[in-house]
Structure 1
Amino acid sequence: MRSFISGLAVASSLLSYVCAARLPARLEARAANSTVVKPKVFIVSMFDPEAEVWYGIPEFDLLAVNITLPGGSPLFPDVHCTVSGDVCQITIGESEINAATSITSLAYSPLFDLTTTYFMIAGIAGVNPEVASICSVTFAKYAVQVALQYEFSQLEIPSNFTTGYIPLGAHSPQQYPTSIYGTEVFEFNANLQHWAATQARTATLNDSADAVAYRANYAVKAAYAAGAAPPTVYECDVATSDVYYSGKILSETFGNYTTLITNGSGVYCTTAQEDNATGEALLRAALSKLVDFSRIIVMRTASDFDRPWPGEAATTNLWWAAQGAFPPAIMNLYLAGIKVVEGLLEGWESTFADGMKADNYLGDIFGSLGGTPDFGPFDYDNNPVKAKRSMKSMKYKTWKPVA
């Protein structure tokens, strides 16, 4: 660490004690001589291009201070911060496991105080042309783990099923799951998402000639009118799946599941791989009073369509089509995101230090953070998956070790 040198013996001694218990020995000396970083804003990237768009910008220097995070991604081991420590950035790695592990390591690290930090997830995503267009910017109230279901091959499903995905504990695609894991849905601060979207609307978004040409193909279907429109800022919801899917059938399946799992209030808009994992890690940290769950912003920019235009193959849409949206979507993370970051910093003393009150429910399906969820089956004691896995059902339940 190149900055944050402590001049206070008490703080140094305290941090040394904490680090000795939680950090490898080779890190103790460095940590003992450093203050705890307390960011106002933490930008969360998933992979290189999303991170690099924030480096070398005129507003602030995120590479001024580089902090190696124990437990961070092997590919992206450092957290980057401004000299003041007001703004930091982490690259957590792609997919749910990487996201959960990296965010957990960050939240429980003694190197940071995140109790008043705003987390801005800033990544690209696929987009539903029924709701938005490529190169657009979206802010989500809900993150839905759409692939947490039973799965049958499309070739082996009953004739009256439209999909091979069936909610856990259910027996048809239309039934609410009764086998609940707790990560199915996260609801974020709607007031904060709306404020962030309003800030982002002051930006001039990037586009490309290829993206203009490609989205015009979607104008042939009235339901895809939003997909044929120029990029703008939307408030709609994100689906999480480690499976990078493409095509009308899967996209409609996961859109229907988003509607089902949120009791009709969610709007499936974008598809990404990390947000429910990030949400769960931050929720558990919030239960330990390490972060404030009401201070999470989920911003995704649209780098590709989740399904083809009528007449195009799903494989072409995913692999070979010149959609032209990836570079503008990456740039729009910065163009829209910097408006959000600047708004948080400029309004810190007047508004954001104390937090923006949420009028909606916050958290998971269990009500872990308090309050009553406005989604869920409200009765999920019948859990066939757990029964199936129960030790009581195993033939060797009476096995005893030999003395």
Structure 2
Amino acid sequence: MHLSFYPLLKQKRSAFFNALLILAMFLGFCSSSYSASVKTNDAKPPMKVKVVVVSMFEIGSDEGDAPGEFQLWKARQKLTTQYPLPHGFHDIYANSDTGVIGMVTGMGIARASAAIMALGLDPRFDLSQAYWLVAGIAGVDPADNTIGSAIWTDYVVDGDLAHQIDAREIPSQWSTGYFPLFTHAPFENADAVDVNNSPNGEVYALNLPLAKWAYSLTKDTKLLNNEAMDALRDKYANSANARALPNVSMGAHLSASTFWHGEKLNTWANDWVAYWTQGKGNFVTSGMEDSATLQSLSYLDNAGLVNKDRLLILRTASNFTMQPPSLSAAENLKLESSGDGYAAMGAAIEAAYKVGSQVTDYIVTHWETVKDTPPSAE
């Protein structure tokens, strides 16, 4: 270094460190202000939470208009106490008498992960023994079930973590250009997949005895149906399950931020879920957020803040994941976008509450029994 530059460099370094000091003081002030705000607004001990109801979206307002996933829970569970959540997508609402709280994560992987983590780290809530109930709509494979149905999840498979080659460039012998990370072709190294230890979060096995218990409790629930739903399902002439009446069942869930649709991708979804679960899971429902929710709960579980084995996922079918024989994938997706394909939206939202609330009410009513030991079908 030339000596003539030293005084100037020293002066600039001094200004730089002064700026850092001012920034640190500012951040410290912001942190203290937020902490003081939390303490001022919530001087009492943290709320002991029994059930967290996780919704992903609300259509408009939280009450008084056409309901999204959250509105029925807020009204019927009397979630009237508001907890501001500026570090999340949507404020938390609670019933302090029952110990039930409700949240809206926002749509997609990024928002869901951030929202679950924000709640899990919030000192106003004791979530150490809480049960988590994800209750939201989904697409359904017409080979397995029908619109308006409610499906309890056994496995969640991530549909985003992958390699992809455009369909116009894939080798002729490949069935898809979408294949697992760290492989070189579709569905390589299937024997090496470990359903219970997925280092990158490609697959999550839920607490199966708990899920089976929830199914057993709710399997005879009568669900809504209407003429528009009948007309839509009648188009699926090749599938008896698609033409059946709405029902409660179990199956695997594919979680991906891309809203995919069509017969080809539906085949891929079945193969993808079978690969990551080593054939133990059957693809039934498709949504966006659940792999993110599980990843956040896994980290929070590591910190001792939640128990990830108390998670239940209930997905209710608002639409089919592929077109009927009479339409192309693009034609059917256009119909869905214009509203004709979502004949079951209202029924699916109602089913999420009608089925899910039975589990919530049971946990609240039998808290002394289930607070230490989760209910089980085994």
TM-score normalised by L of structure 1: 0.78
Q: Alignment partner of 1:317: what SS?
A: helix
Distance (Å, rounded) in 1 between the aligned partners of 2:174 and 2:377: 38
1:153 lines up with 2:153 in the alignment: no
* 2:346 aligns with one of 321, 327, 341: 327
Alpha-carbon contact 2:212-2:377 (below 8 Å) kept: no
What letter corresponds to residue 144 of structure 1 in structure 2? V
What letter corresponds to residue 173 of structure 2 in structure 1? N
Question: Which position in structure 2 is the counterpart of 1:250?
Answer: 265
Distance (Å, rounded) in 1 between the aligned partners of 2:375 and 2:245: 33
Which 4+ runs in 1 deviate beyond 6 A?
20-23, 177-180, 357-360
**116-125 vs 332-341, which moves further:** 332-341
Distance (Å, rounded) in 2 between the aligned partners of 1:31 and 1:355: 33
Distance (Å, rounded) in 1 between the aligned partners of 2:86 and 2:181: 35
**Structure 1 residues 122 and 291, CA, compared in 2 at 3 Å: closer, same or farther?**
same
Q: Alignment partner of 1:290: what SS?
A: coil
Deviation at 1:181, TM superposition (A): 4.8
Q: Alignment partner of 2:246: what SS?
A: coil
Question: Which position in structure 1 is the counterpart of 2:81?
Answer: 65
Question: Which position in structure 1 is the counterpart of 2:206?
Answer: 188
Question: Which position in structure 2 is the counterpart of 1:79?
Answer: 92
Distance (Å, rounded) in 1 between the aligned partners of 2:42 and 2:134: 30
Unaligned 5+ segments in structure 1 are 1-19, 361-403
**Structure 1 residues 23 and 104, CA, compared in 2 at 3 Å: closer, same or farther?**
farther
Alpha-carbon contact 2:150-2:249 (below 8 Å) kept: yes
Alpha-carbon contact 1:246-1:318 (below 8 Å) kept: yes
1:122 lines up with 2:135 in the alignment: yes
Deviation at 1:293, TM superposition (A): 1.3
What letter corresponds to residue 255 of structure 1 in structure 2? N
Q: Alignment partner of 1:56: what SS?
A: helix
Distance (Å, rounded) in 2 between the aligned partners of 1:139 and 1:217: 26
Query: Which deviations, in whole Å up to 9, do the C-alpha atoms of 1:7-32 show, x marking residues without a partner?
Result: xxxxxxxxxxxxx9787145244245
Question: Which position in structure 1 is the counterpart of 2:47?
Answer: 37
Equivalent residue runs for 1:2-401 within 5 Å:
24-25=34-35, 27-48=37-58, 49-57=68-76, 60-62=77-79, 64-73=80-89, 76=90, 78-84=91-97, 86-176=99-189, 181-218=199-236, 220-221=237-238, 224-321=239-336, 322-323=340-341, 324-350=343-369, 352-356=370-374
Query: Which deviations, in whole Å up to 9, do the C-alpha atoms of 1:154-183 show, x marking residues without a partner?
Result: 111111112110111212212147897521
**Structure 1 residues 359 and 196, CA, compared in 2 at 3 Å: closer, same or farther?**
closer
**Structure 1 residues 320 and 33, CA, compared in 2 at 3 Å: closer, same or farther?**
same
**Structure 1 residues 357 and 206, CA, compared in 2 at 3 Å: closer, same or farther?**
closer
Alpha-carbon contact 2:132-2:310 (below 8 Å) kept: yes
Query: Which deviations, in whole Å up to 9, do the C-alpha atoms of 1:344-394 show, x marking residues without a partner?
Result: 1222222x111227799xxxxxxxxxxxxxxxxxxxxxxxxxxxxxxxxxx
**Structure 1 residues 82 and 127, CA, compared in 2 at 3 Å: closer, same or farther?**
same
Identity of aligned residues (%): 28
Unaligned 5+ segments in structure 2 are 1-29, 59-67
Deviation at 1:267, TM superposition (A): 0.8
Aligned length: 331
What letter corresponds to residue 144 of structure 2 in structure 1? V
**265-274 vs 225-234, which moves further:** 225-234
